[in-house]
Every structure is written in C-alpha cells, then in structure tokens.
Amino acid sequence: MSRRILIADLHPGRQSLSAALAQAYRDGAQAVGHQTRVSTLSDMAFDPDFGQSSFRNAPPLEPDLQAFRDDLTWAEHIVLICPMWWGGLPAKTKGLFDRTLLPGYAFDPRQRRMGLPKTLLSGRSGRFILTSDTPGWAFSLMYRSALRHQVQRQILSYVGIKPTGFTHFSPVEHSTPDIRARWLARTEALGTKAA
C-alpha cells in the first residue's frame, strides 16, 4: 500500500552524507510506489531563534517553515536524517522544531492527560536516521543514547508521531567509500519498506 512519506534532510550544509541518505531513502520508496516529499534544511531561509516571544505572540512563519509544516501535515510517515553535533542537534535543526512545532498545530496545552498536552500530529509514524563520529558503543554506553531519546520521545512522541525505528551510522569521519555504500544501500532498503 502506497504511503505519503516526508524525508527531512536536517543537515545545515549542502552535499552532506545526510543528503545522500535522503536521496537513497527516496529512491527506495519511489521504486515501490510510495509518494515522497523531501525537505532540505540547507535550502530553508528562516530565523531559527524563537527569540523573546511567547507561544501567544510567536513570530509568523517564514515561507520555508510554512512549507515544512504543510509537508508534515501531508505525510503519513516522517523520516528525519540528521548529524549529531556536540552530542545534540545542530542549532538550525533545533530551530526548525522550535519554530514549527507550536501549540495549536503540534500539541494542545489546554487539554492534558497525565500532565502532558494533547498531541495533534497523531496517526503518523517516524524514523530517525542519525550520523555521527561517535562510535555506536560510546553513543549507547557512555552517552545513553541521549539524542535518540530526545528526538524520539521528546519531539516525535510529544506531538503524536509514533517512533518506529532508529538507525545510527558511525563513525562517519573515517568511513570508507565501501562503508558509505553499505549505509546508502541499507537506507534505500528502508525506503522500500517505508520503515
């Protein structure tokens, strides 16, 4: 069954491994008939700083942020592809979430259950693909997979997007062309399954 898939390349720079992974996922998904849209962070122009605003007087969305939000609304499955910088999300990536996942669109703080606001993006699933120079064993044992938990639990789940998978490619810095080819092939295979 065909699904509507949003693939978000959340690397702030162009010509990154994230961009190549996004293309590989899209190739796999389209090969089996899924509908895809790609959001490319490096092409977006917006102020990532929410500033001194409150939710009541949030700054208006720039056209690229509105387009990203429209793509989120359209999608049934969201794939976030992102590097880890200094143990967290790049600033522009975090700014994208800060500026678009607002009350009234992503969650409703007026309706609470067990202290948490009502989710407004339910019915969607999401995969997180992370690249880093930190080896997988260190990410898991030393850092307790903190960024994975942040993205899957405190961002996706918080707004109602059900996390369905996590993929970690590392270490990137010293990876060979053969290793990267395997990563791309694995990502393309995920696309064929809309996983």
Q: What is the pLDDT of residues 135-163, one digit of tens each?
A: 999 999 999 999 999 999 999 999 999 99
Residue spans of beta strands (DSSP E) within the chain: 4-9, 35-40, 77-83, 107-113, 116-119, 124-131, 161-169
Token pair, residue 124, equals: 């969607």
Residue-wise pLDDT for 88-130, tens only, equals 999 999 999 999 999 999 999 999 888 899 999 999 999 999 9
For the chain, how many structural domains are there in total? 1
Rounded CA gap, 97 and 54, in Å? 15
CATH number at residue 12: 3.40.50.360
Q: How far is CA 123 from CA 43, 73, 83, 120, 163, in A?
A: 28, 11, 26, 9, 11
Instruction: Tell me phi and psi for residue 163, to 5 degrees.
Output: -65, 130
Report the candidate in 134, 6, 173, 147 with the shortest Cα–Cα distance to residue 89: 147
Residue-wise pLDDT for 1-49, tens only, equals 899 999 999 999 999 999 999 999 999 999 999 999 999 999 999 999 9
Supply the pTM of this predicted model.
0.96
Does residue 147 sit within a domain? yes
Rounded CA gap, 65 and 48, in Å? 10
Q: Tell me which residue range forms the domain holding 85.
A: 4-50+60-193
Does residue 83 sit within a domain? yes
What are the residues facing 39 on neighbouring strands?
8
Rounded CA gap, 145 and 137, in Å? 10
pLDDT at 135: 95
Residue spans of beta strands (DSSP E) within 92-178: 107-113, 116-119, 124-131, 161-169
SS3 85: strand
Does residue 55 sit within a domain? no
